[in-house]
Amino acid sequence: MISSLTGRVTHIAGTNLTLEIGGVGLLVNAPAPLLAEAQTGHTLSLSTYLVVRENELSLYGFATHEARQLFTHLIGVNGIGPRLALAILSTLNVATIRSAVSAGQSSVLSQVPGVGNKTAQKIVLHLADRIGPVDGVAEFGEMVPGDSDLLEALTSLGYSVVEAQSAMQAIPAGASEALEDRLKLALAYFNTPN
């Protein structure tokens, strides 16, 4: 098993990048946020997972060990292959997935393209006892029942699911659960200078 790689990024395209290590270029599939941060010519360290198929070896890379571990849990869910697991990690960050599973909110997971309601429910059931309780949920703001509606409202305004999730996590713990109030707080996140 190849558990980690460190090398120079030589190419980024689609859902993968090429990492050059000792003169050998390895094609690594990676989540969208990692690809967005990677820069050609820079050194990058990844936690990796090698998927072995009858006629193919595919390498998947992640920014953290926790993301790789979540990927392995996701591909353990019946009906979820490596590509869909990667799409989930491209759309939702690790903290959001852990919070959704902990709160039993399959509706958050069903926002990922290719993940229907039944698959989202299977993910929650499969991961509930594997990822353990979420520590520091307040750091990301509490997930409330209306957050799936909030996510839908933000994406309908043109924000990506990743942007919407970031704004939702910035909502302070204990904030009003009313959709209108949470939407105002989420939109304020986009107007706050970083």
Tell me which of 3.40.50.150, 2.160.20.10, 2.40.50.140, 1.10.760.10 is the CATH number of domain 4-62: 2.40.50.140
pLDDT reported for residue 43: 95
CA–CA gap between residue 152 and residue 158 (Å, rounded): 10
Amino acid at 6: T
What does DSSP say about strands 56-62 and 43-53: parallel, antiparallel, or unpaired? Answer: antiparallel
Q: Considering the domain delimited by 66-128, tell me its CATH architecture.
A: Orthogonal Bundle (1.10)
Tokens of 35: 């690809």
Q: From first to last of its 194 residues, what are the pLDDT tens digits of the chain?
A: 788 999 999 999 989 999 999 999 999 999 999 998 999 999 999 999 999 988 989 999 999 999 999 999 999 999 899 999 999 999 888 888 888 888 888 888 888 888 988 999 999 998 988 876 554 443 334 455 567 778 778 878 887 776 777 788 778 777 888 888 888 888 888 876 65
pLDDT reported for residue 133: 55
From its phi and psi, is residue 35 left (phi > 0), alpha (psi between -120 and 50) or beta?
alpha
